[in-house]
Structure 1
Amino acid sequence: MREHFEVIRRLVGEVPVTPLATGLDHRVYAVGDGLVARFGPGAGEEAALLAAVAPRVPLPVPVPLAVDAAAGCLVLPRVCGVSLLERPSPERGRFASAMADFVAAVHVLQWPAPLDETPPSAWLAEARETWPRVRDLVPGWVEAFLENDAPASVAPCFIHGDLGAEHVFVDGDEITGVIDWGDAALGDPAVDHGRLMRDFDLDFGERARFYAICTALEDVAYGREPYVTNAVAALERLART
């Protein structure tokens, strides 16, 4: 952590730095009153991606103000408001149309992102492995779903890769930022559609429903609150989709 503080102060000067969040492969700090510093792999590539994406999509995307690629550090403007994961699912409906327009714009972007070759069959295998951990927490119909075959692979396009409600921030009725582009790749567009189907009750069809169910099971098995409650509620809805 001390090394991170030194990198931040070298980039932005002597300002207060406070730990904010920790993920599987990243650490985030509040920097002064209006910035955040994010440490993780691929910082240089993500900085270039954010600068390219921001002017080409219909919702705000934070653009780095300073980068230390060697240290894995991005300094970005802090997105105001709260994550939509903290809002009850019915309240998210007012943002569903904007998210549908946003993902459509993302999927036509041309960018040399890494290729995600994970086949749907691998998603299904992982979901089956998690079943013993979640069977007492989720609706019973899920077991029958897991007996089905996975959908076939499709041609990849540019995707956000982790477009869940936790990465969409709002202030009142305004979306203030779509964050965390570290999983952006050339992949199956239904990966993005599935998370939107899970969290925003959008309907992108059966292929997206497959990913919606798989990601919900992952959150139930390995997530914390409010991820677990959100995922269980999504599975209740997905039974009727």
Structure 2
Amino acid sequence: MSATELFIALFRAVKIKDLRWWPGFGSFEVVVGAILIQNTAWRNADAALQNLRSKGLLSLESIAGLEEAELAQIIKVSGFYNQKARRLSLLCKAIIADFGDFESFKSGVSREWLLARKGIGAESCDAILCYACERAVMVADSYSARLLGALGYEFESYDELNAWLGELEFERIYEFVNSANSPCDATAKADKLENENGAYALFHGLIVEFCKAHLKGKIFDDFAIEFFDNLK
């Protein structure tokens, strides 16, 4: 099985309403969310984002200007809030110091720069590059590892898993997703998939949504088991 075959099978199995999937795609909000989501459920990270938004603080300059203790209280619902406040504060100040503003960060940041920041590992780095900076970068996560593990694949590192997922045949993906005959949710059909960034973002989204629907604890449900059997 190839990454392209897995993508197509997941696209057939998962109803997805937005081809770009991640909330706030292309905005600074994604950078904040990539930190807040660490070691918590999305609902908790989203609640912390809502707190920042309601106070008019969901911007690079606003977070950089906050005292860490105040920021920690605002994002408390996300868990590990003192640690996350420290990481967010340092990251925002570093972005301003090295790039000046978010748009310059989007166009100029490198993977090496992000990985050198405290608290940003490979997954958070790739999520920022893909969803905030709109780069052609695949995000691998624990859902990806579990799904491919159920299909009999084993990977020794994040980079190895990421490389496997990244081997998409893009023209074949574009043709399939944009086909009038593809089983895509009607809302998603308003957009077309036209670039590698969009393909990677959608692939990650399909994996996450499939696992959220069919992974119960550490066990896949009967639908998923039949899905895997058909792919093997």
Query: TM-score, normalized by length of structure 1?
Result: 0.23
Q: Higher RCO, 1 or 2 (CA under 8 Å, sep at least 6)? A: 2
Structure number having the greater helix percentage:
2
Q: Return the TM-score normalized by structure 2.
A: 0.23
Which has more strand, going by share of residues?
A: 1
